[in-house]
Amino acid sequence: MASVEPSIVDPSLRDQLDIVIPTIRNLDFLEMWRPFFENYHLIIVQDGDPSKTINVPEGFDYELYNRNDINRILGPKASCISFKDSACRCFGYMVSKKKYIFTIDDDCFVAKDPTGKDINALEQHIKNLLTPSSPFFFNTLYDPYREGADFVRGYPFSLREGAPTAVSHGLWLNIPDYDAPTQLVKPAERNKRYVDAVMTIPKGTLFPMCGMNLAFNKDLIGPAMYFGLMGDGQPIGRYDDMWAGWCIKVICDHLGLGVKTGLPYIWHSKASNPFVNLKKEYKGIFWQEEIIPFFQQVVLPKEALTVEQCYLELSKHVKEKLSTIDPYFTKLSEAMVTWIEAWGELNAPDSKAADYKPSRSGTRTAK
C-alpha cells in the first residue's frame, strides 16, 4: 500500500461524522444498520407532510427536521430546499456541524460481500475519505492507498502524494440505479456483480453521481453539495444527485480535489415505478444532452479559490448558458445563490445553533 501520512484522527470518525437520511416513512431499516450506525449522530430530513409522525427505533442519537423546521430556520431562503423529493437531504448537510457526511436512502440495506460477511459501508467510506485520491494520472491497480495495492511501474513519483479526497461514491447490489427507459426494457435486471475495487475518477471526467450511498468531506466540498430544485412545483425530478455530481466534479477538478467511486456496496431493496420515474425524468433525458457538454466545457476563473466562490461563478454560467434551454435554469441559478447565502448563515462561526433546533430529537441508549 502506498504510504500515507500518520494521522491522529480517530479512524471511526465517531465525533466528526453525521449520517443524513431523507425519508417519508418509518425508519425500521435502521435496525439492520444498528451495529454500524449506533455510535453516530443521525440527521433525519422528513419530506412531505410535516404533521406525519416518523418512527425512529429507540437507541439512536438523532435530530429530525421537517418542512416546518426548514421554513422556520431558513425563512424566505427555504425556497432553495426541494419539497416532495429526496433532494431535501441537502438541508441536513447544511445544519450538520461535523466535518464528514454520509448519506443513505431508507430503502438501502446492509449488503454482503462474496464471503457472506455483512459489509460495513460506513467504514469503507471513511477509509476512502481519509486516504488521498489520484485524479491526475490513472493507476491501473485502482486505488493505490488500499491494503495490498500500490502505484504501478511508470506512475510518476511526483504525483504519488495524491490529492485530498472530497467525495466517496458507493455502489449498489440488487436494484441498479437505472433511468426509466432502461428500467422499462430491463425490468427484471439485478446487479449481482461485486467488484472489489475503488478508483479515482480522473480529472476532466464527469460521472453520474447517485446520492443513495454517498459520503463527503464537508470542509472540502460541502457548499457545492446542493441537490438543486426538484420535486413539487418543478419540471424535473430524479436529477438532484446528478446535478450535484456535475457541479462538485467541476469544482473538485478546479481546486485539485479527488472523487472516488466503487466500494462500498449497499443492498438496494426496492425498485421505483418506471412510469412515475419517466414522468419525472423525461425533460432531463433531453436536457442532459446539452447540460453535460456545458459542464465539460465550463471554465472557472483562477481567482475562484474557495468552494463558495466556485459555486457562485458556476451559477452565473448556468444562468447565462442554460437558461436558453428552459426558464427553469434561471430559477435554478438563483436558487444556487440562495443556497450559498443560507449555507454561509448557518455555518458561520458566530451562528447561533440554538436557533436551529429540530422539531424532534433522540439520544443514544447508554450501554
- The answer to whether residue 10 scores a pLDDT higher than 90 is no
> What would the mean pLDDT of 292-296 be, rounded to a whole number?
98
> What would the mean pLDDT of 244-254 be, rounded to a whole number?
98
Residue keyed to cell 430530513: 45
C-alpha cell at 245: 455530481
- The answer to whether the peptide bond before residue 264 is cis (omega within 30 degrees of 0) is yes
Distance CA 291, CA 293 (A): 6
Per residue in 263-277, pLDDT (tens digit) is 999 999 999 999 999
Band of pLDDT at residue 8, cut at 50, 70 and 90 = very low
Q: In the prediction, which pLDDT does 11 show?
A: 67
Question: What is the pTM for the complete model shown?
Answer: 0.96
Residue keyed to cell 418512527: 55
Share of the chain above pLDDT 90, in %: 92
How far out from the chain centre does Cα 174 lie? 20
> What would the mean pLDDT of 240-259 be, rounded to a whole number?
98
Distance CA 131, CA 125 (A): 10
Distance CA 329, CA 289 (A): 15
Distances 144 to 19, 149, 197, 332 between C-alpha atoms, Å: 27, 5, 11, 38
For residues 271 and 183, the answer to whether their CB atoms sit within 8 Å is yes
Q: In the prediction, which pLDDT does 2 show?
A: 74
Q: In the prediction, which pLDDT does 6 show?
A: 45
The number of C-alpha atoms within 13 Å of 13 and in the hemisphere containing its C-beta is 24
| 180 membership: H or E segment, kind and range | helix 180-185
Per residue in 63-110, pLDDT (tens digit) is 999 999 999 999 999 999 999 999 999 999 999 999 999 999 999 999
Distance CA 173, CA 151 (A): 29
Per residue in 117-136, pLDDT (tens digit) is 999 999 999 999 999 999 99
Task: Give the count of beta carbons closer than 10 Å to the beta carbon of residue 192.
Answer: 7
Per residue in 327-344, pLDDT (tens digit) is 999 999 999 999 999 999
C-alpha cell at 11: 479512524
